Amino acid sequence: MTHSIETTVLRVHPERPEPEKIKIAARVIRNGGLVAFPTETVYGLGANALDDQAVLKIFEAKKRPADNPLIVHIAGNEDIHLLTERLPEKAEALMNKFWPGPLTLLAPKSELVPNATTAGLATVAIRMPSHPVARALIAEADVPIAAPSANLAGKPSPTTAKHVLDDLSGRIDMVIDGGAVGFGVESTVLDITVDPPTILRPGPITKEQLERILGRIEVHPVAKAETLAETIVARAPGMKYRHYAPKADLVVVEGPPEKVVEKIRELADGRKREGKRVGIMVTKETADRYRADAVKVVGTRRNPRTIAKSLFKTLREFDESGFDVVFVEGIEPTGLGLAIMNRLRKAAGHNIVRIS
């Protein structure tokens, strides 16, 4: 694949996408091309999941390591039987409750799914997105669509079409611009081939929500992202490698909010004395406590969903302004906070300061 493709942008209505535009994009997918499209989590970079050559183009365009598996997106429950011949019992209750929506299930893969899609694993990651544009595209293409986030590997995930173009313009065939996305962090990935079922990547569907359906749920140590995980076999997307990272050095400071404020102020003052451009990413509750070249409010601790929605956008804003170092307040890693902290810890390359 050359890197001088003309990337077409199709603007569509986010809730009622125009069928004639979706037909154009679906034709690109069926012909083995790459189309970025909005989901309710982040923008995905889609290809026909059953076409190994098309899937390989995703890895090339993103510069994504080949051992990092992809999520396959479907439009209806009947499509799942193309992808797996043995659906674990627990799947049906989860599908009834959370699909369409931001939950990805790991199941044994069928012979139809190429190894490129699953990074050679015997399992396939499947989800049914709820975004009207994603649903329309998959249905019109009439094939399952493999789609990781539509960004260069390691960069903050894209939550607008502009973010996609900033990273992938000239590298992919098309971007469907359906406006900003809803959740802002990627789907929860749950392995239902093991007992108890295990969260491999936290996301908008929380451990607590899953436990109400299935009872006991484990969280894989890597999902907490408290330590480096370069040596593991990636059972699911997002388990390996530094992800979501801005160009600046990112430092996450975790602990009681009052002590976190004191520590960030101390660290920021030190870096400013070194002549560094310092940014601080904060919650609404403590924003007036800081002085730096830029203090950006990412959301409120009282509603972690506001933080999730703005997280990647805010990291990209620091990139655009050329900061040397960005300090970030950690939040409690429970509920949606676990997904937020997973992304921040990975973005920081585990450059974490913990205060008790």
Strand partners for 278: 325
pLDDT of 292 higher than 90: no
| C-alpha–C-alpha distance, residues 31 and 47, integer Å | 9
Q: Is the model more confident about 292 or about 263?
A: 263
pLDDT of 235 higher than 80: no
Q: pLDDT at position 238, please?
A: 57
Q: pLDDT at position 4, please?
A: 76
CA dihedral (76, 78, 82, 87) in degrees, to 10, reads 110
Q: pLDDT at position 89, please?
A: 87
- Asked if residue 79 lies in contact with residue 209, where contact means CB atoms within 8 angstroms, the answer is no
pLDDT of 239 higher than 60: no
pLDDT of 296 higher than 80: yes
Q: pLDDT at position 1, please?
A: 47
Model-level pTM?
A: 0.93
Tokens representing 277 are 């451009």
Q: Is the model more confident about 291 or about 56?
A: 56
Phi, psi (rounded to 5 degrees) for 11: -90, 130
**How many residues are given for the chain?**
356
pLDDT of 241 higher than 90: no
Q: pLDDT at position 242, please?
A: 61
Number of neighbours of residue 13 by Cβ within 10 angstroms: 12
All domains of the chain, ordered by start, with CATH?
8-224 (3.90.870.10), 249-354 (3.40.50.11030)
Mean pLDDT of the region 313-341 = 95
